[in-house]
Structure 1
Amino acid sequence: MTFAGFPVAALDFYDDLEVDNTKTFWEEHRHVYDEAVKAPMVALTAALEDEFGPAKIFRPYRDVRFAKDKTPYKTHQGAFVAVAPSTGYYVQVGAPGVRTGVGFYQAPPARLASFREAVDHETFGVGLQRILGRVERQGWTVGGDAVKTAPRGWSADHPRIDLLRHRSLTLGREHGFAPYVHTAELLDHVRADWRAGKPFIDWILTHVRG
């Protein structure tokens, strides 16, 4: 299948799922998910595989074992290309439209410690600040999970304390309901976004161990 964009039906499907997140709705509309959501996502990531690597298409079911919210289905479809532990490229479609991202996610303690050591390094840390500043000027949002105060062992006066507080660090770009999300042109936008995020990924690959 050649990627031709996400049909309007994909966004409508998630609009409806947010209202009626039940097994009955899912079973009645499973064909819409398969045809309008999953198949285009598989085609999109396949078209990017030669440059970025194979993607994992996430399952549509939520893990509700320890969650207060017991609704059974995710209200978006994501795909992730892992290039290192907890690190890679992301694309998502859901009711709010399409978003792309790159990130350093859910790092185990040793890898998180290595990340913070690299942020602390005068040259490497400043290099990361420059990368993040550049993508923010291009319209990306810097996010991720962070502790509220200085991590144990680090001074609150550290010049890069905002980065040291992060337990994960992500870059996201919203495409929303732009007309091109329903066309093959979206492939070019996702490719351009992932290329723009590659300096961040390369920084992680170079400086973070574990």
Structure 2
Amino acid sequence: MLLQLEGDPAVAVRERVRRDREDLVRRPMIELLNVVADQDPAYEDFSVWGYGEVLLRAWQRQSAIVRLACNVELGVRFDLDGLEVGVAWWYAPSVQIERYRAAVADDGSGRRLVAILRKLDAEGFELSGEQLKRPLRGYPPEHPRAALLRHKSVIAFRPLGCDDWIHTPAAADQVLAAFTQLRPLARWLVKNVAG
């Protein structure tokens, strides 16, 4: 059914598979996140996009977020490649960006962020985020965390794959395990940036 939604399918195709997509993709995502929230109430505030809310014409993808704080979210995405999880601080107002930079520049919180990001990298998470192209004014170019200071967003994500467990209750275990790995970064962002 998802293969029929490749590219930018015609409205007739989208409507023909709408019910199947709801039953086979969106509803299982809601059930997955309900199980995750039952295991840890910190994950209760979640949203699963509906069919009409698909972003960037990604008809083959089902996305969901768990809100932790303003502009700090855990994400779960399902597509033909399987599940992917991540944490993102993005679309931040300037006051949050300034808080982020102050925390990165601080020796204590800045070093803690570097340690968290190194651990996530070692665990297979990809790290990204929008960055300024030039060194940030007000900070020396040789600052030990100059690259992090240029960030306007921070994203860490990892594909979990599409193994046999994806259609079983073990999918919730996989998501919870990844959320546990992401917890230090999420906490750092909530404490130092979200305010």
TM-score, structure 1 normalization: 0.84
For 2:104, the equivalent position in structure 1 comes to: 119
Give a deviation string over 1:133-177, Cα, whole Å, max 9, x none.
Answer: 111111111112222222343332221111111111011010232
Give a deviation string over 1:4-51, Cα, whole Å, max 9, x none.
Answer: xxxxxxxx51x3312452211110001111111111011011111241
Superposition deviation, residue 60 in structure 1: 3.4
For 1:140, the equivalent position in structure 2 comes to: 125
For 1:9, the equivalent position in structure 2 comes to: none
Q: Secondary structure of 1:166's partner?
A: coil
Letter in 2 for 1:154: Y
Q: Is 1:41 matched with 2:29?
A: yes
**Structure 1 residues 126 and 21, CA gap change in structure 2 (3 angstroms):** same
Letter in 2 for 1:205: V
Q: 1:194 aligns with which of 176, 179, 182?
A: 179
**Structure 1 residues 126 and 59, CA gap change in structure 2 (3 angstroms):** same
**Ranges in structure 2 where 5+ consecutive residues have no aligned partner:** none
Aligned positions, number? 192
**Ranges in structure 1 where 5+ consecutive residues have no aligned partner:** 1-11, 65-70
For 1:100, the equivalent position in structure 2 comes to: 85
Identity of matched residues, %: 27
Q: Secondary structure of 1:170's partner?
A: strand
Q: Secondary structure of 1:208's partner?
A: helix
What is the rounded CA distance, in whole Å, between the counterparts of 1:157 and 1:61 in structure 2? Answer: 48
Q: Is 1:89 matched with 2:101?
A: no
For 1:22, the equivalent position in structure 2 comes to: 10
What's the C-alpha RMSD, in Å, of the aligned pairs? 2.0
Superposition deviation, residue 179 in structure 1: 2.4
Q: Is 1:60 matched with 2:45?
A: no
Q: Secondary structure of 1:24's partner?
A: helix
Equivalent pair of 1:150/1:161 in contact (CA under 8 Å): yes
Letter in 2 for 1:173: R
Moved more, 163-172 or 141-150: 141-150
What is the rounded CA distance, in whole Å, between the counterparts of 1:25 and 1:201 in structure 2? Answer: 39
**Structure 1 residues 74 and 156, CA gap change in structure 2 (3 angstroms):** farther
Q: Is 1:161 matched with 2:153?
A: no
What is the rounded CA distance, in whole Å, between the counterparts of 1:28 and 1:139 in structure 2? Answer: 38
Give a deviation string over 1:48-87, Cα, whole Å, max 9, x none.
Answer: 12412221112334688xxxxxx75543111111111100
Equivalent pair of 1:46/1:54 in contact (CA under 8 Å): no
Letter in 2 for 1:121: D
Q: Is 1:80 matched with 2:65?
A: yes
